[in-house]
Each structure stands twice: as structure tokens, then as C-alpha cells.
A and B are shown apart, each in its own frame.
Chain A
Amino acid sequence: MTAVINVFLKEGVLDPQGKAAHHALDSLGFDGVSDVRIGKQIIIQLDTNDQSKAEAEAKEMCETLLANTVIEDYTIEIS
């Protein structure tokens, strides 16, 4: 199965890269942008075909290594 993991800075934690991209979009004339957040996507191929096992494994990977939960949130999509 494939786990697609998105890691972003938590709400309330200032995202300097998102802010810089937001300014750039503003100055290029893209009106109506209220927020930009930049994160990273990690795609993992898992050997298992068991959806819940894959989810549990991906969650453990996030908690252990892939996200720093002091400053980051993550989402997991299994397909």
C-alpha cells in the first residue's frame, strides 16, 4: 500500500516560508490569497495490503521520525 504523508507546521506556529510565498503572490498581483502554508509530502511504499496495519505503521513513523509534533501536524492517506 502507499502512504501519502503531509507534514505542516501547526496552526499558530508561524510558517516563514509560507509567509514569504504569500508576499510573492501578493506582489505578482494574485489577489484574494488569505493564507499560504508550505509543508512537505512524504510518500512511502508499504509491503502490507492491510489498510489499518498500514495506517498504524505510518502513524508510528510520523510520531517517531517524520514529524516533530512540538511544531508540526501531519495527515496520512493510505491507498
Chain B
Amino acid sequence: MKVAILRFPGTNCEFDTQYAFEKLNHTTELIWHENKALPADIDLVVVPGGFSYGDYLRSGSIARFSPIMKAVKNYANKGGKVLGICNGFQVLTEAGLLPGALKRNNNLHFISKYQNLCVVNSNNAFLNNCEDGEVLNIPIAHADGNYYIDNDGLKEIEANGQILLRYSNEKGEPVVVNGSVTSIAGICNKSKNVFGLMPHPERALESILGSKDGIKMLKGFES
């Protein structure tokens, strides 16, 4: 698999993301945001975490207008797979590739810790190496992770199986972490080729560092 990893000014998780996919024996390429095109032969685009454009105005609001984002939109609209992690999730919601928006955490704090997540729907190209109801332990690190969608939108994403992950306890029961609507931690678009999550799977690759659930998650793209 060949993975394109985007870089904006302020992105800071691109090398961790690259390390994760290379550990899975994939080839990766870092793509600077001023590029107008994606490489022709890629299988996945990752919008990694960080603080693109210093989170000015709103997280992800300026990055979505970078030249490369036009190519990412075209790629996604043609069915290409796109994964947004943390700030990448914010960029994808701002770009309209994913529904809803990410607000400031309810407690106004930057939350950085390991967090249990319950897999809500594994029937997709991202989580198919996991099982429904499985609990994963993956770090979160964000100030704007409070997922919001209006009631009609929520009903729609629920009905379409677009809710992928919820913040949970170790039994898989939802818990309030940042104020997200129904504890949502990750979603996908209706056609299930664009994925976004606040947790950082690329930071959970080795048991010695706390968890290797992230690599299990990212392996899903292989099948």
C-alpha cells in the first residue's frame, strides 16, 4: 500500500504517522500542502495531527483551503480513502468531507491521556481489523475534540452506521471525555471512504509504550 501523508505549516504528527505505516511495511510519501496534486498511485491519504496554521480562527479552518485540499476532495469524491487524525479530523469536517464540527472541549482543557474507545462499527475499510464492541486503548491529545452534530444529523449518521468509535470505559460503556455528542470519538462519511477520529493510533504502536491497539487499527486498511 502507498500512503500519502499531508503536511501543513503546524502539522506535527506526520513523522509518527509515517513511522506507523512504514512499520506495517507500506511505502509513504510526505506531501507539502502547496502541492496541487497527489501522487497517482496512492491507496490512502492521511491528514495527520498537529496545529495547522496555529489553529487560528478555528482548528482546521485555514488548512482546508490549502492547494492540496482540492486534490484530496477530488480523490475522496472518486472513492479514494482518506483518514484524518485529530487536527486532520478537524480539517476534514471544515472541508465538508465529514459531517459535523469539532468544538472546544467542554472543560476548556487540553486533554492528553490514554483513553478507552469502543468500536461501534467495524464494517468499513478502516476498522475491519477490529470487532464491534471491542475496546481499544489509544492516546488522545486535543483541545477541540468536542464533536457536535445537530439532532437530525446525528440520527442520519447513526442510521448509516457512520459512528465508528465512542469514548468508553474498559467495559465499552460510553463515558464523557470532552463533551462530544453521544461520546463520539470517530466517524466516517456516508460512502465510508473518508474517516476521522480524535485519538492518535500512530501513538499506540508498541506495548512497551502503553498500547499497540493503534497499529491494530491502522492494519485495517490493508484488507
Contact = CB atoms under 8 A, between A and B. Distances in A.
Nearest to A9: B103
Contacts of A14: 103, 106, 179
Interface stretch (A25-33, A43-51, A52-60, A66-74): A66-74
A64 to B, nearest CB: 8
B32 interface: no
Contacts of A20: 108
Contacts of B94: 68
B18 interface: no
Given A68-B94, A70-B148, A13 B61 contact: no
26 contacts: A13-B103, A13-B148, A14-B103, A14-B106, A16-B103, A16-B104, A16-B105, A16-B106, A16-B107, A16-B108, A16-B179, A17-B104, A17-B108, A65-B57, A65-B61, A65-B62, A65-B65, A66-B57, A68-B61, A68-B94, A68-B101, A70-B100, A70-B101, A70-B148, A70-B149, A71-B101
Interface of A: 9, 13-14, 16-17, 20, 65-66, 68, 70-71
